[in-house]
């Protein structure tokens, strides 16, 4: 499934000069957790999340920046003191297109700990919509029994005995444990299971009986 099938076509975006209070008002009015910052050509250049805005409240009393502060701490302090979207936003903006696979979009959100992604036109770079965690969750809400049946089907296609495997499924993550015949089968199985619709990621805990990938020592 592609992002274009689940994304929203409403864009809540602001310009770099948008003030702090205007950003707060926009988040409240449209009930979103992030705002995309776009330039004069409607290209995303950054994102302002509710966490970015809350830094103003959590920053320690507006103390000055110390040379002993970490880079991350200095960035947070700078954001807390910012008054416009340009000063508060996180850059660069992580973007996707309508043709991005839902699984890939979900992995990006998980990897970068963000709640939504701007969707851009692949040819122009213009923002065309947004996709949120709630949009993606529609795809990952599948019965565990249904996913397990598809995993078994994949095993049969790869000539792997599914009775030797234990398949754990939780929150869209599949855990594979057990023993299969050959080491080379593991990578193929994990890749095939990861491609099943409704699966966010695969945790591999498989073992093997024979290592068919071990180098053959040269004859003397």
Which strand (E) or helix (H) includes residue 152? helix 144-157
Q: Give CA–CA dist 67/74, Å, rounded.
A: 9
Regarding pTM above 0.75, the answer is no
Cis (ω within 30 of 0) for the bond into 92?
yes
Mean pLDDT over residues 105-118, rounded?
Answer: 87
Tokens in use for 96? 């996707």
pLDDT tens-digit series, residues 9-45: 788 999 999 999 999 999 999 988 899 999 999 999 9
Helix spans in 158-197 (H): 184-194
102 SS3 class: helix
Share of the chain above pLDDT 90, in %: 50
pLDDT tens-digit series, residues 134-161: 888 777 777 888 889 999 999 999 999 9
């Amino acid at each position: 499934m592609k992002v274009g099938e689940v994304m929203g076509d409403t864009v809540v975006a602001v310009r770099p000069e948008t003030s702090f209070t205007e950003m707060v008002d926009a988040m409240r009015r449209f009930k979103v957790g992030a705002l995309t910052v776009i330039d004069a050509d409607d290209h995303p250049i950054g994102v302002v999340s509710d966490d970015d805005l809350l830094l103003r409240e959590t920053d320690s009393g507006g103390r000055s920046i110390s040379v002993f502060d970490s880079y991350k701490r200095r960035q947070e302090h700078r954001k807390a003191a910012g008054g416009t979207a340009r000063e508060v936003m996180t850059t660069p903006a992580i973007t996707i297109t309508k043709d991005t696979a839902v699984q890939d979009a979900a992995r990006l959100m998980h990897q970068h700990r963000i709640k939504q992604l701007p969707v851009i036109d692949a040819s122009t770079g213009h923002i065309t919509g947004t996709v949120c965690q709630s949009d993606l969750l529609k795809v990952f809400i599948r019965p565990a029994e249904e996913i397990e049946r598809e995993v078994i089907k994949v095993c049969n296609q790869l000539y792997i005995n599914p009775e030797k495997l234990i398949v754990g499924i939780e929150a869209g993550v599949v855990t594979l444990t057990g023993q299969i015949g050959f080491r080379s089968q593991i990578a193929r199985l994990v890749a095939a299971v990861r491609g099943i619709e409704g699966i966010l990621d695969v945790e591999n805990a498989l073992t093997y009986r024979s290592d068919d990938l071990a180098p053959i020592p040269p004859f003397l």
